[in-house]
Structure 1
Amino acid sequence: MNQYLKQSLMGMLIGGIAGLGMSTSLMAQSDKAAQEDPALKIYRASATKVNDLVHTKLDVRFDYAKRYLYGKAWITLKPHFYATDSLTLDAKGMDIKEVAVVKAGKNSPLKYSYDSLQLHIALDKSYKATESYIIYISYTAKPDELKVKGSAAISDAKGLYFINPDGKDPKKPTQIWTQGETESSSAWFPTIDKTNQKCTQELSMTVEKKYVTLSNGKLVSQKNNADGTRTDTWKMDLPHSPYLFMMAVGDYAIVKDTWRGKEVNYYVEKPYEKYAKNIFGNTPEMLTFYSKILGYDYPWVKYSQITGRDYVSGAMENTTATLHGEFMQKTDRELLDNNNYNESVIAHELFHHWFGDLATAESWSNLTVNESFADYSEYLWLEHKYGKDAADEHSLEATQSYMSMVQYSGDKDLVRFHYRDREDMFDQITYQKGGRILHMLRNAIGDSAFFKSLNVYLKTNAFKATEAHQLRLAVEEVTGRDMNWFFNEWYFGKGFPQLDISYKYNEAAKTVTVILQQIQKEDKVWHIPMAIDIYAGGKTERHNIFMENRVDSFTYSYNTKPDLVNVDADKVVLAKIDDHRAFSTYAFQYAHAPNYMDRHIAIDEAADAQATNPEAVKLLVLALKDKYHGLRTYAIGKLNMGNEAVKSAALPVLLELAKQDPSSLTRAAALQQLGELKDPAYASLFEAATKEKSYGVAAAGLEGLATLDLDKAYNIAKTLESDTRGKLVNAIAGVYARKGNPADVDFVATKFDETSGQDKLNAAFDYLGFLSKVNNTAAVIKGVDQVKAMTVQFNNSQVSTYISNWMQEISKAKSQEATAVSGDNREALYKQADYFKKTSEEIKKTIR
């Protein structure tokens, strides 16, 4: 599963609140209540296996009006080891019509009890582990009547979703899709809903002929029925866990691809049919790449990807049939600004088909063996396809996401057996931190050993349930090394080291001593393998070290005094690092050290020194021409154009970047910097940018023009309304907010209404930002109501908390603004402030 919601939530909060000039104090949450939570004292063991699933056969049809599923299930099971005369199945919120054991083709009724969550069945006899049996159940699933909660990563948990089933919303297609993770498959079919269960599967769906269907495995038959419906049967011959079962129904275009004779299909809404290959087209190459590096070919019969409206998570790796949120559907214009995000999601879900679907976490406590690997697969793909700079940029963003979470919410173990709710495991520790730990492991043992270890792990644990220790054993088998130190500190512990690095040069002895100190407050001392590269006399000498004490020092001889001593030369250690050295070493590092992070760190140092150090200015200007667009863009954002020396040196390069850089992201960043200058000389440049294909570039051009000629920007914005998405919507909204024409408010409100799924969360923060700037009471009331309705749709306590808190901040800002004006304006602002406050309190009352 991709963690799109949680990442976008944190990013929008930090970026959006800062953009509004509001305090980030609303992000801080006390951990005291969490520490006292009795749920944290519960040991979350792997589910005990009394009976094992062997095969699940389902026959389902749908009642769109009632939002019901009418189902028949034939479940083949056998005792795990001990003989048993009873069976417990998970079955959430169903009407159970019949329960029977199937013998000689006949159903014999069984006694059972049902508490709306579990079905307790008395079997007809005691079965031994060598005996299998088939249970038949006739049932009705009623997901919309099920009272369940989701998480920050999975905003709902009712398992089965009817989208616009009555067709009343002309802007939304009619769809059905399922979401099984974590334990929601049992909301649409009875099963043992645990990760350590696996079985084969057959699913028959009866639907209207106009719809297509998708499920796990292969489509083995399609039968037209006398009532005008059609029954599609999908068959899965390899075992997988119940949370990976899926089905989807809708009016999709199917764009076909292939890989080594296997079907690779892309299901998209018909307006996106012509863009499907642009969105998903690298999937066959990914299949080849991952099969090669793992030494284990993609094991399943096909690979399909489908989008779902109003999807409750980023994406889900249902075996052979990944479901993506509708954010995946982008036009060619949108993809220009996507910076490989879509591909990272696609890579993540595909890699799960080895790590998660083939070898599956035996419990949510060990979710790392699913999600940390899928997170790291994003790095692997970007490195392969777009180069190490792109991968390292992605890794830095992941590290920052994890560090931000720690700052605001505290740290936890990667493998943890105590948590309030299994949904809590889907966090930046399991994903981003886990991915960085795997990167460290790869660096510590080398590429060949790392990928061979993954191969051994997969071959040993294929179609089984696994835990992190089995990964450790695979690494030890390959390397011949004891790896407990690494796993105990990183996988079975929490936190990260804080390193203080200093240097002592002895000119007489011609030695340099590198002093490494671990200054973290915790008593824990980390064992850290890393490289130190010494650059001297035009040569580079590498020293591999192993830090194992609170303070370690390493002394090296030299003939020529080093230009640079580069500690953690590969830039892989997950740590906070304070490195004490002269600026000249950073200038040398930017020019000569090979990695993205070497240059990124040097740019940061130059940004801090640009006010007083001419060499820092030179470095920043050099970085504007960096080979990687991400660092060009980053350097642009670090320029202090209010400093005349910086402006004089950077301006010619900045203008060229704005006009012709190959990256739309870099062009947009350059235009934004130029816009801050408010120089009429650039008006024609900004106006030309509004005609660019990239929404991001057009947005930056419009914003720049608005600082110079609001009326012209307003008129251009009107012409752009018909084809606008993403950042361009925000730019137009900003122009409209400044212009203050009440008639334009409908555009922003309509764009928010048109957004759905998890993209609506990002849009909500943009919308609130817009409402914070306009003095239009009717618009504010309408907009606040729209955002409130969104929180009901998401049904997520974290989303509601942040929205509520932000509304409180806007209320305070509106009240303060009111004190500076008089008359009707003052009265209107106070009314708006009161409405923000009132709605914030209403949302807060809904938080569980």
Structure 2
Amino acid sequence: MAVKAQVPGAVIDVQHYIFALQLTDADNNIKGQATVGVKFLKNADAFNLDLVKKNVEGKGMLVSAVTENGKNLRFVQDSGAVKIYTNAKTGSMHSYKVSYAGVPADGLIISTNNFGHRTFFGDNWPNRAHNWLPCVDAPADKASVDFVVTAPDHYQVVSNGLKIKEQQLPNHLKLTHWHEAVVVPTKVMVIGVAAFAIDHPGDAGNIPVYTYVFPESKEAGFKSYAVAKDILPFFIKNVGPYSYEKLANVQSKTIFGGMENASAIFYFEESVTSPGIEELMAHEIAHQWFGDGASEKSFWHLWLSEGFATYMTNLYLENKYGADTLKKRMLADRKKVLEFEKKRLTPVVDSAVKSDYMQLLNANSYEKGSWVLHMLRRKLGDDLFWKGIQNYYAKYRGSNANTDDLRREMEQASGQDLKPFFNQWLRKAGHPDLNIGWHYDADKGSVNISVEQKQDNLYEFPLEIAINGELVHIEVKDKTTSAQILVKTKPETILVDPDVNVLDSFNIAAQ
């Protein structure tokens, strides 16, 4: 299989992980054996796997052995990685076993839930997986994964993919084996271990939908989470096939509102009674296509996950509740984008961020990314927009894309040059800030409109203005754009962007 992404300069491409983990109630120490199947992309005498080493507080993982075919290999562990010495030729396949143990510093959240019960929840985004799993902890290296979890038998275990084995062991232990056949990035590989009440509210086509909630949340959770089975078909119909073997929605201890783990989405603990559960679920389910299925090549292109999930949620809600719902949401999102810009002026594709990716969870990645898709949809029309989105997903499903990859697919679908559009909205910071003046000329029976762009970077975009309820389109591109509109009577009302189709700020005054 051709290398679909990989970190530039990568030595290996991980094909498959098996994580065999032992969890206990005695303490927070976990024991692991990771079997990592790799393909070498170049001749190598060593390679690295990311893994956080035990720190002064005693948190982190200590590797005790690395073997290949039962033979011990030399390895060196530093604070963030384990270097494994081996001899490998380009294109060759190898399988390594890494034995390790420790208390996770992060990534696997071992704590108690609101009801005082002990729980274990993976929480890997963005690159926190290597706190508890030896891996290539970057979205570009996708792999299939098995989790084989041995834990006290009063827990249920949920994970990616299909449950292929559940076996009672001596001493009140239980082994649970989940297998995800589809390649996914480490950020969405996960286990959830807790006492769960489990429901199967229905299927979307041949995809079973499950609910996993704490037993005390059973009544509320079974009811509120059931909406997932109605959301899934919208994306299957409009975007493309669902990639995974099932969809489980899980009440959890994630630090996020929701975390889009492939086929096993985790939601914050109070989500079972949250009035916003439908939109939260739509957002996380949309991620199964965008972020999980078609993943960004690097976190600089995070909007391909978060902007998509935000706009796809808006499209789902527009489809269900009507166009006014979309307008209201776009207005609220526009406000968020403009507020964020005052705090931090940076483009959506933000290559200045080198390590702390949490800072990319911001209004640029989410709401501005969503706004770009909204304006692209208005520019192309619904048919070409969806055609481009479907083609993009079909091409990059199971692999990785960046912003230019999306642009090329949208150009191919529409036959338009979209470079200027993508550059101004995604690669430059800011937005159009407009001074709009109008004057009624009674003699000519016209309204003269002038649109001035106050910001330095000039934008090109269509601006809609409603005069007495009649929509007028003005192509804005220069510092000042003038238009003369014939009218039957003196305007009572002039509304700028009445359908909320441009990411801008403006003031309007009669002259």
TM-score, normalising length from structure 1?
A: 0.57
- After superposition, the C-alpha distances for 1:422-450 in whole angstroms (9 at most, x for unaligned) are 22211111112211221111112111111
1:398, distance to aligned residue in structure 2 (A): 2.2
Q: Report the 3-state secondary structure (helix = DSSP H, G, I; strand = E; otherwise coil) of the residue aligned with 1:207.
A: strand
Q: Report the 3-state secondary structure (helix = DSSP H, G, I; strand = E; otherwise coil) of the residue aligned with 2:23.
A: strand
User: Is the 8 Å Cα contact of residues 47 and 196 (structure 1) preserved in structure 2?
Assistant: no
* Alignment partners' CA distance in 2, 1:307 and 1:254: 11
After TM superposition, the structure 1 = structure 2 runs for residues 362-441 of structure 1, keeping only pairs within 5 Å, are 362-407=297-342, 409-419=343-353, 421-441=356-376
1:98, distance to aligned residue in structure 2 (A): 0.9
* Alignment partners' CA distance in 2, 1:403 and 1:542: 25
Q: Report the 3-state secondary structure (helix = DSSP H, G, I; strand = E; otherwise coil) of the residue aligned with 2:331.
A: helix
1:571 aligns with 500
2:197 aligns with 253
2:88 aligns with 126
1:160 aligns with 108
Query: Does residue 266 in structure 1 map to residue 211 in structure 2?
Result: yes
User: Is the 8 Å Cα contact of residues 217 and 272 (structure 2) preserved in structure 1?
Assistant: yes
- After superposition, the C-alpha distances for 1:585-637 in whole angstroms (9 at most, x for unaligned) are xxxxxxxxxxxxxxxxxxxxxxxxxxxxxxxxxxxxxxxxxxxxxxxxxxxxx
User: Is the 8 Å Cα contact of residues 444 and 530 (structure 1) preserved in structure 2?
Assistant: no
1:328 aligns with 271
After TM superposition, the structure 1 = structure 2 runs for residues 337-348 of structure 1, keeping only pairs within 5 Å, are 338=275, 341-348=276-283
User: Is the 8 Å Cα contact of residues 414 and 494 (structure 1) preserved in structure 2?
Assistant: yes
- In the comparison of the two structures, how many residue pairs are matched? 497
2:3 aligns with none
* Alignment partners' CA distance in 2, 1:135 and 1:362: 25
Query: Does residue 89 in structure 1 map to residue 49 in structure 2?
Result: yes
After TM superposition, the structure 1 = structure 2 runs for residues 5-404 of structure 1, keeping only pairs within 5 Å, are 47-80=8-41, 82-93=42-53, 94-102=61-69, 107-123=70-86, 125-129=87-91, 131-143=92-104, 146=105, 158-164=106-112, 171-257=115-201, 258-294=203-239, 296-309=240-253, 311-330=254-273, 338=275, 341-404=276-339
* Alignment partners' CA distance in 2, 1:282 and 1:402: 29
5+ long unaligned stretches in structure 2:
1-5, 54-60
Between Structure 1 and Structure 2, whose CA radius of gyration is higher?
Answer: 1
Q: Report the 3-state secondary structure (helix = DSSP H, G, I; strand = E; otherwise coil) of the residue aligned with 2:498.
A: coil
* Alignment partners' CA distance in 1, 2:327 and 2:500: 9
Range that drifts further, 501-510 or 566-575: 566-575
User: Is the 8 Å Cα contact of residues 141 and 189 (structure 1) preserved in structure 2?
Assistant: no
1:178, distance to aligned residue in structure 2 (A): 0.7
Which one-letter code corresponds to 1:126 in the other structure? A
1:230, distance to aligned residue in structure 2 (A): 1.0
User: Is the 8 Å Cα contact of residues 301 and 403 (structure 2) preserved in structure 1?
Assistant: yes
TM-score, normalising length from structure 2?
A: 0.93
User: Is the 8 Å Cα contact of residues 7 and 141 (structure 2) preserved in structure 1?
Assistant: no
Q: Report the 3-state secondary structure (helix = DSSP H, G, I; strand = E; otherwise coil) of the residue aligned with 2:365.
A: helix
* Alignment partners' CA distance in 2, 1:556 and 1:236: 60
* Alignment partners' CA distance in 1, 2:116 and 2:326: 36
Which one-letter code corresponds to 2:207 in the other structure? K
1:562, distance to aligned residue in structure 2 (A): 4.1
- After superposition, the C-alpha distances for 1:616-661 in whole angstroms (9 at most, x for unaligned) are xxxxxxxxxxxxxxxxxxxxxxxxxxxxxxxxxxxxxxxxxxxxxx
Which one-letter code corresponds to 1:307 in the other structure? Q
- After superposition, the C-alpha distances for 1:546-581 in whole angstroms (9 at most, x for unaligned) are 211010011122334444443323222111110225
* Alignment partners' CA distance in 2, 1:47 and 1:273: 46
Do the aligned partners of residues 379 and 308 (structure 1) sit closer, same or farther apart at CA in structure 2, a change above 3 Å counting?
same
User: Is the 8 Å Cα contact of residues 57 and 73 (structure 1) preserved in structure 2?
Assistant: yes
- After superposition, the C-alpha distances for 1:698-754 in whole angstroms (9 at most, x for unaligned) are xxxxxxxxxxxxxxxxxxxxxxxxxxxxxxxxxxxxxxxxxxxxxxxxxxxxxxxxx
- After superposition, the C-alpha distances for 1:163-200 in whole angstroms (9 at most, x for unaligned) are 13xxxx99422111011111111111101111100111
2:459 aligns with 526
1:374, distance to aligned residue in structure 2 (A): 1.0
* Alignment partners' CA distance in 1, 2:478 and 2:223: 51
* Alignment partners' CA distance in 2, 1:48 and 1:128: 13
Q: Report the 3-state secondary structure (helix = DSSP H, G, I; strand = E; otherwise coil) of the residue aligned with 1:232.
A: strand
* Alignment partners' CA distance in 2, 1:392 and 1:542: 16
Which one-letter code corresponds to 1:108 in the other structure? K
Stretches (4+) displaced over 6 A:
none
Which one-letter code corresponds to 1:580 in the other structure? A
Do the aligned partners of residues 567 and 402 (structure 1) sit closer, same or farther apart at CA in structure 2, a change above 3 Å counting?
closer
2:410 aligns with 475
Which structure: greater strand fraction? 2
User: Is the 8 Å Cα contact of residues 47 and 363 (structure 1) preserved in structure 2?
Assistant: no
1:122, distance to aligned residue in structure 2 (A): 0.8
User: Is the 8 Å Cα contact of residues 88 and 119 (structure 1) preserved in structure 2?
Assistant: yes
2:393 aligns with 458
User: Is the 8 Å Cα contact of residues 301 and 349 (structure 2) preserved in structure 1?
Assistant: yes
Which one-letter code corresponds to 2:73 in the other structure? L
After TM superposition, the structure 1 = structure 2 runs for residues 563-642 of structure 1, keeping only pairs within 5 Å, are 563-581=492-510
Query: Does residue 445 in structure 1 map to residue 374 in structure 2?
Result: no
- After superposition, the C-alpha distances for 1:15-61 in whole angstroms (9 at most, x for unaligned) are xxxxxxxxxxxxxxxxxxxxxxxxxxxxxx95532200101011111
Which structure: greater helix fraction? 1
User: Is the 8 Å Cα contact of residues 141 and 187 (structure 1) preserved in structure 2?
Assistant: no
* Alignment partners' CA distance in 1, 2:291 and 2:179: 20
CA RMSD of aligned residues (A): 1.8
User: Is the 8 Å Cα contact of residues 379 and 392 (structure 1) preserved in structure 2?
Assistant: no
User: Is the 8 Å Cα contact of residues 405 and 428 (structure 1) preserved in structure 2?
Assistant: yes
1:217, distance to aligned residue in structure 2 (A): 0.2
* Alignment partners' CA distance in 2, 1:571 and 1:161: 41
* Alignment partners' CA distance in 2, 1:46 and 1:400: 36
1:228, distance to aligned residue in structure 2 (A): 2.0
* Alignment partners' CA distance in 2, 1:346 and 1:318: 12
5+ long unaligned stretches in structure 1:
1-44, 147-157, 583-848
* Alignment partners' CA distance in 1, 2:107 and 2:8: 20
* Alignment partners' CA distance in 2, 1:450 and 1:460: 15
Which one-letter code corresponds to 1:190 in the other structure? P
* Alignment partners' CA distance in 2, 1:229 and 1:576: 61
1:541, distance to aligned residue in structure 2 (A): 4.3
Do the aligned partners of residues 483 and 126 (structure 1) sit closer, same or farther apart at CA in structure 2, a change above 3 Å counting?
same
- After superposition, the C-alpha distances for 1:671-691 in whole angstroms (9 at most, x for unaligned) are xxxxxxxxxxxxxxxxxxxxx
Q: Report the 3-state secondary structure (helix = DSSP H, G, I; strand = E; otherwise coil) of the residue aligned with 2:127.
A: coil
